Amino acid sequence: MSYYLATIVIYFGVYGLGALALNLQIGLSGIANFGFIIFESAGAYAAAITSIGPASNGHALSETYFWGINLPFPLPLLAGALAGGLLALIMGPVTMRKMRRDYQAATMLAISIIATQVISNDIHIFNGNAGLAAVPSPLSGHLNVSTATYDWIYAGYAMVLTAIGYVICKRISMSPFGRSLRALRDDDDAAASIGKYAWAMKMKVFVAGGAIAGLAGALLVQYIGAWSPAAWQYAETFVLLQCVILGGIANDKGALLGAFVVGVFLAEAPSFLPAIGYPGLINNLQWILIGVVYIIVLWFRPQGLIPERGSLRLAVNPAFDALTGGSDRPRRLRRRSATSRPGVASTADATAPGSAAVATTGPAVGPR
């Protein structure tokens, strides 16, 4: 039971990071990344080959990659993020060009399928369908704990990474840059007319999302210890897309909620159920369920459980300020201003005392 719960928490982290990154791209910026799973996969492979070590380490399945390199924690994780970002950097110049969103979706999907086929069929790249195995868990040799304890430590680690991912995505989505992305998504011609350079903006988000996806992949592979093309079929992208749609498109909290409902309960939890019927029946029923939920959500609540915020109220919204540090909060001001001491508000910091009042009524600042 404990193993079950820890695993669920870790999967929540993996789906959460994936959904956050996909939401950043598709929800906030309108990038129809239907090949999202390959960025996670790139991160997983990168983390695996930089930590798997030489082939002679006793595991029959493992092969030597990168001259048997075995990077210490947390470098494989960072290699995963780097790989995801790098893949986006390579794909972006073509796929982020101005094109209709359905063409973009089709292009991404095609790339995703081609990538799976190539990796499956060429055993010289990542060992084909057999994939990589015996990927070591980070610090497993250094932490002298039981497997169950280790799982919980890893779950905590996954939650920390998810929290970091959440803050990153929130800071982007609730910033002027995030607002420009929303504008671009809603009408790219009008956004261009006010000086927004669509390609550069999309590239940034594409790479940032790719890096977070790579991080999610690395987090997963270091836990399950193996990675093969079966783990990143194109359909996985649509599970993540469902997380985003069900949770609430262009809403970071929604992405996490979607990851919890769809990722954990629909996609992962059924594999812990006792077998019924013929082998693979649960797996098949699960895909049917996922499809049915898609239809139900799009029919009855297309905006998702937590819809996009209609009005952003940047810099005047206390809730947002508390999370992103995006306000002139007294605590932060104290650290910044050398003259004021704790508990003594500097007179220069006009916004320090009663900043909430200033925030809600709007400042008396003239136009630039």
Partner 1 sequence: MAIAEGLGVEKIVVTYGGVRAVDGVSIDFRAGAVTGLIGPNGAGKTSLLNVIAGALRGAGGTVRLFGEDVSRLSSDARGRRGILRTFQTARTFERLSVVDNLIVAQPEQRGDRLLTALLRPRSWTAQERAARARALELLDLFGMTSHAEVRADQLSGGQRKIVDYLRALMANPKVLLLDEPSVGLAPGVLERLSQDLERMKGAGVCIVLVEHEMEFIRKSCDHVVAMANGSVVTQGSFETVAANDDVRAAYLGRR
Q: Name the site residues for partner 1 (rule: CB under 8 A).
A: 168, 171-172, 175-180, 182-183, 185-187, 189-198, 204-205, 208, 250, 308, 310-316, 324-328, 332, 362-368
CB of 66 to partner 1, least distance (A): 30
Residue 175 or residue 233: which is nearer to partner 1 going by CB?
Answer: 175
The Cα 109–Cα 316 span in angstroms is: 40
* Contact yes or no for 178/41 (Cβ under 8 A): no
Residue 17 or residue 155: which is nearer to partner 1 going by CB?
Answer: 17
CB of 329 to partner 1, least distance (A): 9
Residue 71 or residue 82: which is nearer to partner 1 going by CB?
Answer: 82
Residue 185 or residue 334: which is nearer to partner 1 going by CB?
Answer: 185
CB of 19 to partner 1, least distance (A): 19
Q: Is 313 helix (H, G, I), strand (E, B) or coil?
A: coil
Q: Cβ–Cβ contacts within 10 Å for residue 250, how many? A: 24
Residue 171 or residue 253: which is nearer to partner 1 going by CB?
Answer: 171
CB of 328 to partner 1, least distance (A): 6
Residue 274 or residue 367: which is nearer to partner 1 going by CB?
Answer: 367
The residue to which tokens 């799982």 are assigned = 151
Residue 64 or residue 175: which is nearer to partner 1 going by CB?
Answer: 175
Amino acid identity at 120: S
The Cα 47–Cα 59 span in angstroms is: 18
Angstrom distances, CA of residue 270 to CA of 236, 249, 290: 15, 25, 12
Phi then psi for 351, rounded to 5 degrees? -90, -5
CB of 155 to partner 1, least distance (A): 26
Amino acid identity at 320: F
- Among residues 346, 296, 285, 314, the alpha carbon closest in space to that of 179 is found at 314
CB of 99 to partner 1, least distance (A): 16
CB of 365 to partner 1, least distance (A): 4
Residue 113 or residue 308: which is nearer to partner 1 going by CB?
Answer: 308
* Contact yes or no for 282/272 (Cβ under 8 A): no
Can you say whether residue 130 is alpha, beta or left, with left for phi > 0 and alpha for psi between -120 and 50 degrees? alpha
How does DSSP assign 226-292, residue by residue? -B-GGGG-THHHHHHHHHHHHH-TT-HHHHHHHIIIIIIIIIIGGGGSPP-SSTTHHHHHHHHHHHH
CB of 188 to partner 1, least distance (A): 10
Residue 223: both structure tokens together: 């836990």
